[in-house]
Structure 1
Amino acid sequence: MDVGSFGFTLAGLVVGFIVGMTGVGGGSLMTPILLWFGINPATAVGTDLLYAAITKASGVWVHGKNKNIDWKITGWLTLGSVPAAALTLWFLASLDADTQAANAIIKQGLAVVLVLTALAILFKSKLQAFASKHAGDRYHLSGTSLNLLTVATGVVLGVMVSLTSIGAGALGTVALFLLYPYLVTRRLVGTEIAHAVPLTLVAGLGHASMGNMDWSLLGYLLLGSLPGIYMGSHLTGRISDSILRPCLAGMLLMIGYKLAF
């Protein structure tokens, strides 16, 4: 294994460890790391999308076995996200002749979504408290309005994830907290993961069809991340959430700022 391959495996190990310990940070850390290694933005996004689909698939099996997935909510989200992903990929494909323009759009999109993700991580507890406080009043929607808003949320996530590979985790979970305040946390997390798998798979295969994929890179990332997730999951709760989240949010804000400016 050469130095570059070792670096990608180490990156997978570190990101997998953080994901296993905190439950967030996969795409929001992996894609910027790949850019730092000099990987083309479009290739970084495409590779990270399939990386996410593979790593989260095992999560769906575990959460499904424990009945932590609300398949109805997953269906409404997917109804919005997958078509939105297809349209976003079509738009990127139309820019295929202008690689610089496509990469510039992806980098700016990354900057915006990284900042939003950082804010979602930083203020997650406050947003949860807000959702719980207003669960029984007019703020809480139901029926057709709630389903339509869930589809619209899926559309937004579909565009963001297809363009940047980021957003399905932290932003998707926060959106579900606000839309479904009565749903217990473990089912919200399981539902978000179940929705992320088809979204990242469709978006990842779409990028692969455009040539935005490095299969050997994907292999090295998985080689490191799978044991990293295993080790990190055993340290969940050992380090205070009040320390981990601000550190992760601060790091994402700095990366987003650097990409934007």
Structure 2
Amino acid sequence: MDVGNIGFVVAGLIVGFIVGMTGVGGGSLMTPILLWFGINPATAVGTDLLYAAITKSGGVLVHSKNKNIDWTITGWLTLGSVPAVLLTLWFLASLHTDPSAMNAVIKQALGVVLLLTALAILFKKSLLAFAQRHAGDSYHLRPRNLNALTVVTGAILGTMVALTSIGAGALGTVALFILYPFLATRRLVGTEIAHAVPLTLVAGLGHASMGNMDWHLLGFLLMGSLPGIYMGSHMTGRIPDGVLRPCLAVMLMAVGYKLAF
């Protein structure tokens, strides 16, 4: 194993550790790290998508066993996200003859979504408090309208994830908290993870079909991230959330600003 490959294992270990400890930061950290290593933007996104699908599959098994998944909400989200992924992949495929144009679109979208993710992480507690405080107000939707809005939310998340590999985690969780303020946190997190697996799997396979995939890179990332997630999960609560989230948000904001502007 050469020095470059060891770097990918270490990157997987660090990202896995942060994800295990905080529950956020997977795609939003991994894709910028791969760009820093000089990986082509399209390849970075495609590889990270399948990386996310594999790493989150274990979480679905655990949450499903503990009955922490609302499969109805997952279904409505998927109804919006999967068609949106396919449309976005079709759009990217139309740019495939001009790799520089496709990479420019992906880098610009990455910057914008990273900035949004940073804001979601930074103001998550305030947004959740607002949603729960006003949960009984007149803004609360009828079931039919709520289902339609959930499908639209899935479509937005699907478009972002297919373009950038980012958005299903922090942004998806905040969106679900606002839509379903009475849903228990553990069920909401489980539902978001259950939706992220088919979303990232379909998007990742679509990118792989266009050649935007490095299977060796994926293997090295998984070598590091799987033990990293295990170690990080045992460190949960050791470092104050009030320290971790702002640091993560500032870092993502800096990277997002550089990519977008």
How does the TM-score come out when normalised to structure 1? 0.99
Match of 1:136 in 2: 136
Residue-by-residue CA offset, 1:25-69 (whole Å, 9 max, x unaligned):
000000000000000000000000000000000000000000000
Match of 1:24 in 2: 24
Match of 1:219 in 2: 219
Offset at residue 142 of structure 1 (A): 2.6
1:91 aligns with 2:114: no
1:45 partner SS: helix
CA RMSD of aligned residues (A): 0.4
Gaps of 5+ in 1: none
Q: Higher mean Cα deviation, 14-23 or 134-143?
A: 134-143
Match of 1:10 in 2: 10
Match of 2:164 in 1: 164
Match of 2:229 in 1: 229
Match of 1:65 in 2: 65
Give runs of aligned pairs for residues 95-110 of structure 1, distance below 5 A: 95-110=95-110
Match of 1:197 in 2: 197
User: Aligned partners of 1:133, 1:91: CA distance in 2, in Å?
Assistant: 40
User: Aligned partners of 1:191, 1:140: CA distance in 2, in Å?
Assistant: 20
Match of 1:179 in 2: 179
Gaps of 5+ in 2: none
| Counterpart residue identity of residue 65, structure 1 | K
User: Aligned partners of 1:122, 1:83: CA distance in 2, in Å?
Assistant: 30
| Counterpart residue identity of residue 201, structure 1 | L
| Counterpart residue identity of residue 68, structure 1 | N
User: Aligned partners of 2:247, 2:126: CA distance in 1, in Å?
Assistant: 17
Deviating runs (4+, > 4 A) in structure 1? none
Match of 2:38 in 1: 38
Offset at residue 140 of structure 1 (A): 1.5
User: Aligned partners of 1:71, 1:174: CA distance in 2, in Å?
Assistant: 18
| Counterpart residue identity of residue 179, structure 1 | L
Equivalenced residue count is 261
User: Aligned partners of 2:229, 2:46: CA distance in 1, in Å?
Assistant: 21
1:253 aligns with 2:253: yes
User: Aligned partners of 1:175, 1:240: CA distance in 2, in Å?
Assistant: 24
User: Aligned partners of 2:249, 2:139: CA distance in 1, in Å?
Assistant: 28
Match of 1:81 in 2: 81
Offset at residue 137 of structure 1 (A): 1.0
